[in-house]
C-alpha cells in the first residue's frame, strides 16, 4: 500500500491510499456493500454480512440506505464498526450516507471501482441519495476515513463509464494541475488503453487537487465549487437530451461552452481555449450538440444556483485560473448558439 495523502476535511480525518487488489478489503469490515456488478471485484471471507444493491442511478434511493441500516442493526454493529462500500459513485455515496446515519456516524471505508468514483465521488465527504428525480437531494457531509484505490480494477469497467470518469479527469487538470494536463496530452494512447501505471499517476494527481479544495472548503461555500466546471451546462444538456448524453460527455461539452463564454467575456485567451477544445476532440468528445439552445437555457434556469435573475457559472480563464461569474441569460443563449 502507498498513502497518496492524508487529509482533514472539516475536522474529519480522511486518507486516500493505493492498494494491491487482494488487499483492498479492510480486515475489520463488519458490513460490506456493493452492487451486483462490483461485488465480484473484491474477495472477501465467507459469512461476511453484505448488502448487494441494484446497480445504477435508479437505485440511489432511500430503500437502499434503509437496507444497509437494517442489516447493520441486525448484525449489532457498533459506532466503531467498519462499513465498507465497493463500487461506483452510487455505491460509495449511499454507503457513506448510511454510515453517517448509523449510530450518528460509524466508521466508513470506501473502495471506488469506477474511474469517476476514484477521482471524484469517493473522496471529499459528500454523501447522499436522490429523491425521486431530484439528484442528491438528501445527504450529509461525512468523509470516509479511508478511500482504497486499485487502478487495475478498472480493467472491466464499461467504456461509457470509463469516459464518464475521464471527463472529470480533464476537468480536474484544467482546474488545478498543469502537470496532469501535460500528462493527459502526452500519454493519450496509454490513458485510453487504461495503462495502470499512467492511471495511478492520474488518479493520484486528481485526488491531490480535489483534496486540497475540499480541505479548504468542505461545505462548498467557496472554491470547492470550481469542481462544478462544465456541470451547469452539462447537466442541462443531459436533462434536455433525456440522458442520451452521458454525464462525462455532457461535462466535457459543458467545458467547451464555459471556454466559449470565457473568451467572449475577455477572460480567456482564444488560443488557449482552442487548445483545450482540441484536446477534448482528440479524446473523442463531442463539442456540438443538436439539442435546442433555448431548451438547454430553460433547463439551466431550473438550476438552484441563481442570484438576481442571473445564473452562476464556473469559468476557466486560463490553466488553473478559475472564476465564478453570474451571467445574463441572453449572453448564455448566445454562447449556446455558438
Binding residues for ligand NAD, rule: CB under 6 A, are 35, 37-38, 41, 55-57, 60, 87-91, 93, 113-114, 116-117, 120-121, 124, 126, 135-136, 153-154, 156-157, 161, 164
Q: How far is the CB of 207 from ligand NAD (least distance, A)?
A: 12
Nearer to ligand NAD, 13 or 56 (CB): 56
Q: How far is the CB of 22 from ligand NAD (least distance, A)?
A: 15
- For residue 262, report the phi and psi dihedrals to the nearest 5 degrees: -60, -40
Q: How far is the CB of 266 from ligand NAD (least distance, A)?
A: 31
- CB-CB contact of 236 with 156 (8 Å): no
With the C-alpha atoms ordered 206, 208, 211, 215, is the resulting torsion angle positive or negative?
Answer: negative
Q: Helix or strand or coil: residue 102?
A: helix
Nearer to ligand NAD, 207 or 327 (CB): 207
- For residue 155, report the phi and psi dihedrals to the nearest 5 degrees: -50, -45
Nearer to ligand NAD, 124 or 256 (CB): 124
Q: How far is the CB of 125 from ligand NAD (least distance, A)?
A: 8
Nearer to ligand NAD, 152 or 275 (CB): 152
Q: Which helix (H) or strand (E) holds 32?
A: strand 29-35
Nearer to ligand NAD, 116 or 327 (CB): 116
CB-nearest residue to ligand NAD? 89
Please state, in angstroms and rounded to a whole number, the distance separating the CA atoms of residues 57 and 54: 9
With the C-alpha atoms ordered 215, 221, 225, 231, is the resulting torsion angle positive or negative?
Answer: positive
Q: How far is the CB of 112 from ligand NAD (least distance, A)?
A: 7
Please state, in angstroms and rounded to a whole number, the distance separating the CA atoms of residues 239 and 253: 14
Amino acid at each position: 500500500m502507498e498513502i497518496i495523502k492524508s487529509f482533514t476535511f472539516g475536522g474529519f480525518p480522511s486518507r486516500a491510499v493505493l492498494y494491491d487488489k487482494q488487499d483492498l478489503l479492510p480486515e475489520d469490515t463488519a458490513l460490506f456493500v456493493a452492487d451486483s456488478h462490483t461485488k465480484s471485484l473484491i474477495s472477501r471471507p465467507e459469512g461476511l454480512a453484505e448488502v448487494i444493491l441494484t446497480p445504477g442511478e435508479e437505485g440511489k434511493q432511500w430503500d437502499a440506505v434503509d437496507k444497509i441500516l437494517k442489516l447493520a442493526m441486525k448484525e449489532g454493529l457498533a459506532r466503531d464498526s467498519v462499513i465498507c462500500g465497493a463500487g461506483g459513485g452510487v455505491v460509495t455515496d449511499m454507503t457513506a450516507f448510511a454510515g453517517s446515519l448509523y449510530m450518528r456516524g460509524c466508521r466508513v471505508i470506501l473502495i471506488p471501482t469506477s474511474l469517476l468514483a476514484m477521482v471524484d465521488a469517493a473522496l471529499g465527504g459528500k454523501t447522499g441519495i436522490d429523491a425521486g428525480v431530484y439528484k442528491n437531494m438528501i445527504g450529509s457531509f461525512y468523509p470516509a476515513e479511508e478511500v482504497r484505490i486499485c487502478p487495475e480494477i478498472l480493467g472491466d469497467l464499461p467504456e461509457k463509464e470509463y469516459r464518464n470518469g475521464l471527463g472529470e479527469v480533464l476537468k480536474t487538470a484544467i482546474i488545478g494541475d498543469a502537470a496532469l494536463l501535460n500528462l493527459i496530452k502526452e500519454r493519450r494512447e496509454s490513458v485510453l488503453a487504461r495503462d495502470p501505471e499512467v492511471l495511478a499517476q492520474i488518479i493520484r494527481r486528481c485526488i491531490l487537487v480535489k483534496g486540497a479544495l475540499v480541505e479548504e472548503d468542505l461545505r462548498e461555500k467557496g472554491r470547492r465549487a470550481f469542481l462544478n466546471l462544465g456541470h451547469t451546462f452539462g447537466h442541462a444538456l443531459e436533462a434536455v437530451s433525456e440522458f442520451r448524453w452521458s454525464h462525462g460527455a455532457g461535462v466535457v461539452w459543458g467545458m467547451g461552452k464555459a471556454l466559449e463564454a470565457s473568451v467572449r467575456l475577455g477572460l480567456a485567451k482564444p488560443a488557449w481555449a482552442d487548445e483545450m477544445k482540441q484536446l477534448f476532440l482528440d479524446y473523442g468528445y463531442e463539442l456540438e450538440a443538436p439539442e435546442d439552445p433555448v431548451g438547454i437555457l430553460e433547463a439551466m434556469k431550473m438550476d438552484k444556483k441563481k442570484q438576481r435573475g442571473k445564473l452562476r457559472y464556473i469559468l476557466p480563464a486560463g490553466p488553473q485560473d478559475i472564476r465564478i461569474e453570474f451571467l445574463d441569460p441572453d449572453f448564455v443563449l448566445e454562447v449556446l448558439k455558438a
